[in-house]
Structure formats: C-alpha cells, structure tokens
C-alpha cells in the first residue's frame, strides 16, 4: 500500500508524524506498506503549527498513484492564517483530495483535516468525526457526525483530535497487515490503543 501524507503550512505536527511513524514501524514488521510525506508543490521545508519544519519527500503523486491519502488538521479552531482553515478557504487541497478519491484512493483525515474532506465533498451523508473544537462546524455540513474516535467508512476514514491519528493508523495497519502486526507496532510505541474503529459498513 502506497500512503501519501499531505503536508501544508500550519498542519499539526502529531496529526502527520504519528501516522507516519506507525506506518514506518509496520513496514519494519514486514507489512507491504510505505508512507511518504508530500505537499502540493513538492518543496520544503513545510512549517507546522507549533514551528516544526519538515522536509517533504516530494510532490503529491498524480491521482491514481496513491492507495491511501492521509490529511492532517491544524490551525482550524483559531482560524489561523496557515492551516486547515486557510486551506479550506483556498480550495486547492480539497480539490486534490477529491481528485484522488475519484481516482480510487482511500482518503483518511486526522483532527480538523476532516473539514478539508468535507470541503472536498467526501463526507456528505456519511458518518464522520473531527476534533472536538470543530464538531459544531462539521455539524453545519451534510456529514453524519458521530462521537467516535476513528470511523472507517470503507473508502473514507476520519479520526478525532490529534492522538487519534495513532489509532487511525493502527487500524489501517490491522486492516491491511493483520492484528499481529498492528499489536507489534503498538507495543514498540508503548501505546495503548483507544477503542475499536466504528465501521458502519464492512471494510474492503
């Protein structure tokens, strides 16, 4: 599985780095899963919401070349000039998300990255969750808002605030490589998984 984690100015560090590390450990455990940090223009460093500067691996691949696109949040609740709010208003990232989904990629969001999925039109009528501070904003959309930590609706996955990205990534690892690999990764991280993902329909 080819995973692209889409970075942008003002993304929340843990939203992206948590899943990236989970996927990296899963690959070390033999999972057929490789994650890359990408951006729309392929340049870096990208400055995260708390000042961490991250070099990306390159440009977001063309639609059809990614199996899973992970979209972090950050900068939504305070309407920051850099972050999910700014990207929601700009529209380029939501357009890219929609294009990848249309081409067959699964799309996953962490925290307020869910608002970018909403802007992309992926959450209409579907169960979804986001950071608690943005729940009312999500309720103002056509999404079927649920109080869950991780929601797996097949081709679209959403997770709540920040640390829930670890649970989302571990869920993906379990779905793709099995419970034994996911448990091995959680053990290395010394992380106690928080609840099972809510799956309203059978995962592919």
Residue 56 lies in a domain: yes
Q: What is the pLDDT along the chain (204 residues), one digit of tens a residue?
A: 999 999 999 999 999 999 999 999 999 999 999 999 999 999 889 999 999 999 999 999 999 999 999 999 999 999 999 999 999 999 999 999 999 999 999 999 999 999 999 999 999 999 999 999 999 999 999 999 999 999 999 999 999 988 999 999 999 999 999 999 999 999 999 999 987 899 986 545
Number of domains in the chain: 1
Check which CATH number belongs to the domain holding 89 and give it.
Answer: 3.40.50.880
Residue 195 lies in a domain: no
The pLDDT tens digits for 69-116 are: 999 999 999 999 999 999 999 999 999 999 999 999 999 999 999 999
pTM: 0.96
Residue 108 lies in a domain: yes
Q: Distances in Å between the alpha carbon of 193 and those of 15, 105, 182?
A: 16, 26, 10
């Amino acid at each position: 599985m080819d995973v692209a984690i889409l970075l942008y100015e003002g993304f929340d560090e843990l939203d992206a780095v948590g899943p990236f590390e989970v996927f990296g450990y899963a690959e070390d455990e033999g999972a057929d899963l490789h994650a890359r940090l990408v951006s729309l223009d392929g340049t870096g460093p990208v400055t995260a919401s708390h000042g961490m500067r991250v070099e990306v691996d390159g440009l977001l691949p063309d639609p059809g070349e990614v199996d899973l696109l992970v979209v972090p949040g950050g900068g939504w609740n305070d309407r920051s000039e850099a972050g999910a709010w700014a990207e929601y208003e700009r529209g380029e990232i939501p357009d890219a998300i929609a294009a990848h989904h249309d081409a067959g990629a699964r799309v996953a969001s962490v925290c307020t990255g869910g608002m970018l999925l909403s802007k992309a039109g992926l959450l209409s009528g579907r169960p979804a969750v986001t950071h608690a501070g943005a729940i009312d904003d999500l309720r103002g959309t056509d999404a079927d808002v649920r109080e869950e930590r991780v929601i797996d609706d097949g081709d679209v996955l959403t997770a709540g605030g920040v640390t829930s990205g670890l649970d989302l990534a571990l869920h993906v690892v379990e779905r793709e490589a099995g419970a034994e690999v996911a448990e091995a990764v959680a053990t290395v991280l010394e992380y106690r998984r928080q609840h099972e993902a809510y799956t309203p329909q059978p995962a592919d």
